[in-house]
Amino acid sequence: MTPEAQAVLERVTGLDWYHTIDLPHGVTTPGYVDHRAQVALYGLPDDMRGLRALDVATYDGFWAFEMERRGAEVTAIDLESLAQCDFPRRFRHHAVDYQTGAAFQVAHELLGSRVERKVMSVYDLSPATVGTFDVVFLSDLLLHLRDPALALENVCAVTAPAGFAIVAEPYNVDLDRFGGLPLSQFGFEQAVGWWQHSVATLKTMMWAAGFDNVEETARFRLNCRAAIPLIKVVLRGSCPIVAPGQ
């Protein structure tokens, strides 16, 4: 191993990585989720030069860095600590004060990234707080939220009129078998899981949030170390209504 690679490895070691991220000098972070081979399934434009992009719930920043690599000017938001997640009251003792930005900052520095990370909840996203974006990216977040419908309303509000949002979430394969009914199940086995939706529910929520066009672009099993398989759907919402009532 070169001294440069050794120096990068020393920065990476000891952090709890959520994302597998390729860093300079051939070093890769030992992530819980490895999106690398599945990026094409999310339908990001190859060329994002000149676009403003928002990564909602960025964690270690994999998607923010990917959009930046494609040329976008990227803003990323996340909570300060995992302890601020929407824990059901019964499970609040599971809350751990893990700083979500710790690994992000290391990757950001090592990649020489210019992504702007803001500490902000999806519940506080609005044109007044962050402006509007050509591409809004949200992945693996709604299942952790008490109020996914409000989150999608805010995502729609910050999507520029000619822009679009990519919403990529796990769905419940069993609920999906009921003829396209928008069914959802309350509760997950994990302490921060609130809802399991059918694809029809996710599509209906995106429409209700204000996207006139909602298209499904992919379904696949997330490449991660979870004990249960996480099957995801990728939805693309466009034509956001400008103001409620329109």
What residues make contact with ligand SAM under the rule CB under 6 A?
33, 57, 59, 62, 77-79, 82, 85, 100, 121-123, 139-141, 144
- Nearer to ligand SAM among residue 77 and residue 110 (C-beta): 77
Closest CA to 156 of 197, 120, 186, 122: 122
Judged by DSSP in three states, 240 sits in strand
- Nearer to ligand SAM among residue 19 and residue 203 (C-beta): 19
CA distance to 43, 120, 146, 166, per residue, from 100 (Å)? 26, 12, 19, 22
Residue type, 136: V
- Give min distance, CB of 85 to ligand SAM, in A: 5
Complete DSSP assignment for 128-146: HHH--EEEEEEES-GGG-S
- Give min distance, CB of 246 to ligand SAM, in A: 26
Distance of alpha carbon 221 from the chain centroid: 16
Complete DSSP assignment for 137-183: EEES-GGG-S-HHHHHHHHHHTEEEEEEEEEEEE--TTGGGTTT---
Nearest-angstrom CA–CA distance, 141 and 123: 12
- Give min distance, CB of 58 to ligand SAM, in A: 6
Nearest-angstrom CA–CA distance, 92 and 224: 25
CA distance to 62, 66, 186, 193, 214, per residue, from 111 (Å)? 11, 11, 40, 32, 34
- Nearer to ligand SAM among residue 100 and residue 204 (C-beta): 100
- Nearer to ligand SAM among residue 25 and residue 223 (C-beta): 223
- Nearer to ligand SAM among residue 66 and residue 176 (C-beta): 66
- Give min distance, CB of 93 to ligand SAM, in A: 18
Label residue 226 left, alpha or beta by phi (over 0 means left) and psi (-120 to 50 means alpha): beta
- Give min distance, CB of 109 to ligand SAM, in A: 19
- Nearer to ligand SAM among residue 68 and residue 78 (C-beta): 78
What are the two backbone dihedrals, phi and then psi, of residue 84, each rounded to the nearest 5 degrees? Answer: -90, 0
CB-closest chain residue to ligand SAM? 139
- Give min distance, CB of 31 to ligand SAM, in A: 9
- Nearer to ligand SAM among residue 3 and residue 93 (C-beta): 93
- Give min distance, CB of 73 to ligand SAM, in A: 19
